[in-house]
């Protein structure tokens, strides 16, 4: 059973380009180097609610073991890195999903 860790980010459009670069060049590149995820999806949320831009980052783990390693060792580090760069301009929430076989 695969596990999906989804984080939806709400950002101001004036930081969108920089945010996308940091996600691709920092967050995603770092995780790919750890070989925990078997897929990573970075998407724009199509339905707009309020101001700004919403982006979704889905980390797909092949098993509970890799997911747990991510949660215990990397999740907070990576989110703090984003908060350090973007501060109050960044809002986010995360959800864990389990694939139904």
Residues contacting 49, CB < 8 A, separation 6+: none
Q: Is the pTM of this model over 0.95?
A: no
59-79: per-residue pLDDT in tens? 999 999 999 999 999 999 999
And the tokens for 29? 């590149």
80-95: per-residue pLDDT in tens? 999 999 998 999 999 9
How far apart are the C-alpha atoms of 49 and 47, rounded to whole Å?
6
Contact 9, 90 (CB under 8 A): yes
State the Cα torsion 29-24-92-13 to the nearest 10°.
170
């Amino acid at each position: 059973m695969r596990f999906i860790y989804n984080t939806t980010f709400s950002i101001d459009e004036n930081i969108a380009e920089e945010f996308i670069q940091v996600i691709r060049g920092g967050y995603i590149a770092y995780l790919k180097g750890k070989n925990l995820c078997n897929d990573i999806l970075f998407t724009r949320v199509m339905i707009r609610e309020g101001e700004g831009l919403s982006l979704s980052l889905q980390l797909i783990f092949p098993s509970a073991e890799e997911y747990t390693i991510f949660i215990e060792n990397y999740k907070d580090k990576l989110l703090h890195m984003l908060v350090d760069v973007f501060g109050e301009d960044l809002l986010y929430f995360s959800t864990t999903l389990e694939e139904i076989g």
